[in-house]
């Protein structure tokens, strides 16, 4: 009988060999760490499960729930591209994942695309713009944040897939996104075609999109717009180092709700600005928000033996998709943080270890991360399971690649 040490070595070799399709762009050490990582395995398996249940590569269509329902809103369709982008980055030589990402970014999202349209914003009319409608096959109901989620993934996808046409498409959609900016409330991008409010969710991801575009093109105009949006968020919606949801343009009324994803996208945007400029102000603002999200999001307790337990607070979660963005933001922050503070990601890892135990007979996970919240209707939602997968995949990238390389 093999000794436990030999058995462990044998299993490590098997796992390493199984990781063969994903070795491209990885050192041997990195590939080995990814192959052994529990979050990487869970994220990959869940991504494949989502694709098998909700994605039809022949019809280029999606199901709103795992295997059920019609085409979801574009928000959920974009969440699949986020999931696939995270998966392709962790497993860079998977042809199957890349093929799914390419199809999702072009053919699937193409069902929502409205081309060469005219729109009427509060201060100007625009002709010849293209945008993504909220629902497939329609034309009049658009949200700026929807278009920003898509644009971000087109920018990231253009690098992963080495596709210049995808980059050019993303840059064209940036022109639409900028139609949402005007001088009401001293700036900011509107949320929707109703032009009634300026929201954190339509500004922070816009800043990300413009900053990513700058990194890919070197066009200073994109950098300046990214800074303008970021500065507006900090000047208008920042409260105690966190960000409220929105401000009503007509009444000036402010929503004090502080959702996770609004904090996450500002952490990501601030990390990009510090990465690009090296200016300490951006680091200080971002670090303050990171620290403020810990008590907002997590609950730390000790049992009678003094063992610490980290759980997730129910109130700010909203959807698992938000936690996917929190993992993405914390991981990005870690890459630029001179102090390499591990606490945010380690808190998230603690929650995800519990999350691993919630896998059900259908291969799905608790979309509320063991927080005590419940909403059975959303359990099998595409948006929810994509968020869980992204949380696993981004955490695995931190755990197996970033932290191990430092």
Task: Give 24-68 pLDDT, tens digit per residue.
Answer: 568 888 989 999 999 999 999 999 999 999 999 999 999 999 999
In a domain, 232, yes or no: yes
Residue 194 makes CB contacts below 8 A (sequence gap 6+) with: none
Q: Which residue's entry shows tokens 């680091």?
A: 283
Q: How many Cβ atoms from other residues are within 10 Å of residue 9's Cβ?
A: 12
* Cα–Cα distance for residue pair 382/387, rounded to 1 Å: 9
In a domain, 221, yes or no: yes
13 vs 4: CA distance, rounded Å: 14
Query: What burial class does residue 269 get, using C-beta atoms within 10 Å of its C-beta: 0-12 exposed, 13-18 middle, 19+ buried?
Result: buried
- Which of 100, 139, 187, 152 has the alpha carbon at shortest distance from 324? 152
Dump pLDDT digits (tens) for 239-291.
999 999 999 999 999 999 999 999 999 999 999 999 999 999 999 999 999 99
Percent of the chain, pLDDT > 70?
A: 93
Q: What domain count does the chain have? A: 1
- φ and ψ of 79, to 5 deg: -65, -30
Q: What span, in angstroms and rounded, lies between the C-alpha atoms of 91 and 95?
A: 9
Residue 42 included in any domain? no
Contact at 8 Å (CB) between 301 and 311?
yes
Q: How far is CA 273 from the centre of its chain?
A: 17
Domain harbouring 139, CATH code: 1.50.10.20
Kindly write down the DSSP assignment for every residue of 33-55, as one continuous string.
Answer: HHHH-HHHHHHHHHHHHHHHHHE
Q: What is the mean pLDDT of residues 93-99?
A: 95
Give the span between the Cα atoms of 383 and 385, in whole angstroms. 6
- Which H or E element spans position 298? strand 298-302
Give burial (CB, 10 Å; 0-12/13-18/19+) of 1. exposed
Span 317-331, average pLDDT: 92
Express each pLDDT in 144-192 by its tens digit.
999 999 999 999 999 999 999 999 999 999 999 999 999 999 999 999 9
pTM of the prediction? 0.93
β 61-62/298-302 pair status? unpaired
Give 3-state DSSP helix, strand, coil % of the chain, rounded to 5: 60, 15, 30
Number of helical (H) and strand (E) elements in the chain, helices listed first: 16, 11
Domain residues for the domain of 209 are 112-258
pLDDT band, very low/low/confident/very high, at 194 (cuts 50, 70, 90): very high
pLDDT band at 140 (very low <50, low <70, confident <90, very high): confident
């Amino acid at each position: 009988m093999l000794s436990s040490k030999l058995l462990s070595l044998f299993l490590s070799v098997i796992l390493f060999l199984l990781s063969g399709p994903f070795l491209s762009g990885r050192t041997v050490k990195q590939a080995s760490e990814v192959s052994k990582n529990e979050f990487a395995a869970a994220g990959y398996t869940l991504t494949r499960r989502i694709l098998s249940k909700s994605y039809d590569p022949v019809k280029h269509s999606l199901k709103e729930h795992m295997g059920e329902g019609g085409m979801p809103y574009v928000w959920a369709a974009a969440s699949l591209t986020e999931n696939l982008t995270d998966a392709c980055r962790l497993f860079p030589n998977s042809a199957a994942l890349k093929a799914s990402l390419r199809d999702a970014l072009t053919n699937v999202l193409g069902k929502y695309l409205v081309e060469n349209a005219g729109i009427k914003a509060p201060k100007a009319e625009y002709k010849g713009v293209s945008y993504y409608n909220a629902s497939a096959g329609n034309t009049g109901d658009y949200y700026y944040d929807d278009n920003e989620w898509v644009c971000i993934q087109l920018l990231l996808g253009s690098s992963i897939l080495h596709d210049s046409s995808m980059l050019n498409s993303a840059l064209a959609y940036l022109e639409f996104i900028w139609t949402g900016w005007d001088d009401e409330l001293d700036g900011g991008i509107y949320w929707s075609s109703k032009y009634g409010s300026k929201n954190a969710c339509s500004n922070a991801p816009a800043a990300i999109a413009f900053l990513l575009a700058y990194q890919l093109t070197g066009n200073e105009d994109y950098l300046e717009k990214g800074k303008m949006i970021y500065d507006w968020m900090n000047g208008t919606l920042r409260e105690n180092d966190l960000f409220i949801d929105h401000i009503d343009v007509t009444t000036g009324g402010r929503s004090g709700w502080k959702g996770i994803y609004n904090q996450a996208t500002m952490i990501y945007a601030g990390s990009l600005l510090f990465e690009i400029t090296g200016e300490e102000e951006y680091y200080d603002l971002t670090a303050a928000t990171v620290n403020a999200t810990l008590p907002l999001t997590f609950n730390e307790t000790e049992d009678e033996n003094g063992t610490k337990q980290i759980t997730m607070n129910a109130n700010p979660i909203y959807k698992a998709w938000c936690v996917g963005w929190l993992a993405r933001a914390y991981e990005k922050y870690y890459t630029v943080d001179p102090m390499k503070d591990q606490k945010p990601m380690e808190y998230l890892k603690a929650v995800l270890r519990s999350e691993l135990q919630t896998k059900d007979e259908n291969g799905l996970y608790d979309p509320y991360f063991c927080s005590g919240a419940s909403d059975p209707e959303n359990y099998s939602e595409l948006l929810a399971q994509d968020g869980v997968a992204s949380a696993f995949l981004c955490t695995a990238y931190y755990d197996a690649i970033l932290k191990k390389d430092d």
